[in-house]
Structure 1
Amino acid sequence: IPLGKTNNPEWSAGGNTRNRVYGATANPYDLTRTCAGSSGGSAAALACGYAPLATGSDTGGSLRNPAAYCGVVGFRPSPGVVPGDKRGIGLVPLSTSGPMARNVADAGLMLSVLARPDGRDPFTTVVDGRTAWEPSDFATLPPVDLSALRIAVTEDYGFAPTESIVRDHFRKAVAALAPFMGRVEDTTPDCTGADRIFAVLRGLLFVSTHGTRFDQHPDKVGPNVRDNVIEGRGYGADDFAAAFTDQTAYYLRWQDWFRDHDVILSPAVTVSPRDWHELYPAEIDGKPTQSYYHWLAMAYASTLAGHPSITVPCGFDVNGMPFGLQIVGRRHADRAVLAVAAEIEAIIASIPDLAPRAPDLAALRSAPPLSDAPGFLSF
């Protein structure tokens, strides 16, 4: 039973849920801070108990980032598991939809409905009316022996501009979880060129999706869409050829690396939640970011390789804000990633320093309306 729509940034472009129509959505754990985006309304609604399930879309972490900031679960499946025929460039599966929920089991249940045979998505292979995965299997997750897994941990994938607050909490979380695991190794797949590949391909997607809109209504297009269209048009054929070639090499390196590892654990987002007035972090620990989406690097590391990635709540950082643990597995090992996440979720619940807690709904009810805050409807 659909309950309604939730808020997101303009055309889902950006990691902060603000727009000039419905205003800002704040973080339910601190109304001065962002809930991230683009599926920020979904994450906030889940955290506050409006509904048990929500959908989200994800290119550079648009469902994983808000899930992390709001203390809920967000799962980006492998390309084609949740079919979609609305991508303007269907053969570039950077964007996909996925389930969001308050726990991993519910996310799996929702995925069992979202995952279906639909050949209109070129990455959803349908043979005799069936896909390679059985959708109903996602609703029942098998037990996993974490001690038998080869687990990699990384604070930054070797390139993501990660805040010290995030690094510190991630180390604390890994130390608490390590006794329940087997081989834990500090390592990462080779992510050489990730920033450039993502920038060029994202620019291509924005030109195809929003170029005409920007040309016809430049005064009605927000800064994120505008900047991405302009950036995309600044690239040439050589840039696109290099990006696609480098992405292929990137993908192959990830497949080779995963022969010796089962999952990766990392932070979900590079920074702790900031003031929602900030459109995006222009700097991280004093170092400037490259673009409005550079701070999403922790998420697009796995996007570029097409690997299933899930965010689960894992304690609260030094600012008292929810911390999301990202778990990445082999391509098309979606059920296995959900199963590992469910095991880790149960362990986290047993560790007092990491166990989740709901936002203070009484405090939210008594707070002044966010719509009265300066900058609510503007940038």
Structure 2
Amino acid sequence: MGRGSGRREERPPRGHPAVPAGAALLVLLPVLCLLSLLVGTGSSSPARALDYLLGDPAARADPQLRLAVMDVRLPRTLAAVLVGVCLGTAGCLLQAATRNPLAETGLLGVNSGAAFAVVVGLTWCGASSTTDLLLWALCGGIAASAVVLLLAAGGRAGGSPLRLVLAGAALGATFHGLTSYVLLGSQATFDVYRYWTIGSLAGVRTGDILPLLPVAAVGLLLAAGCARPLSALGLGDDSARSLGHRPGRTRLVVAGAVSLLAGCAVAVAGPIAFLGLLAPHAARALAGARTAAQLLLSALIAADVMTLADVLARVVIRPWETPVSVLLAFVGGPLLVWIARSSRLSTAGAPS
């Protein structure tokens, strides 16, 4: 193909569904964020919350309303957007790099490494606060991914999809076994751990999110830098090399970005299933083979879905709350079955 055709692949043609879909998703996100600030499990009504946001003096003087809007709902809203963007981007990167349409963010051992680190922190290092769990989960997820990268980088096929998947599966199984062993000997640790591992945004504070923003920003910058090499990688490793790219190095950079992004998401919300798997499928259906458009749409779709799911989690069994991961599992399970049975599955992640 000539240079002109390569440029046309990078820029969606006029009237392509990716353009209006991206605009609609971008407009929908602040609407959902506003809804998240207005709706909660407490007694504060959406109308009163809206009065507070609009600066009504009587509403601003209500300490209970301020607590509900600013100290409970605002951090959860920010966390939902952050987790969605991280998981959507990480899942899209991983599926593109491995050419595996069923790849998700736990593939590199992030979830299992974070879980083991949380258990170690609770059992032997005196971790007790939410901030402690965040730091242990983030460090554990990144450390586990780093080990996977080291295991996958050796040999002539260093960084290949098969080596990444095998290393991630082996390390994930090892951490899962170690986590179970530690939990069997500590009932107190298990009592705390089971609430973290179910996946929820309840109890998140603004102070817990701010330290993770630079980590997520680095991951997103790496993801943006990988868009063009991943587009070439979709043509096959040999074609990518002929275009001047290095597939092994590209996959290692992708794995590093996925580690940072998924580590942030797991640290904030615990293991969240299906979102990082399904958002890239929806983005690919809208954007086609354009990797940069896929990344953007996947991040927006996941952020919208995560925010909406968190709002629904507060009202489904009101006045109690449903963990957001449970709602996503109810939706994600049937969709995953449909994807697995789809005739397009074999061509979704790699060229035929």
| TM-score (structure 1 length as normaliser) | 0.28
Q: Which has the higher strand share?
A: 1
**Which protein, 1 or 2, shows the higher relative CO under an 8 Å CA cutoff with sep ≥ 6?**
2
Q: Which has the higher helix share?
A: 2
Rg larger in 1 or in 2? 2
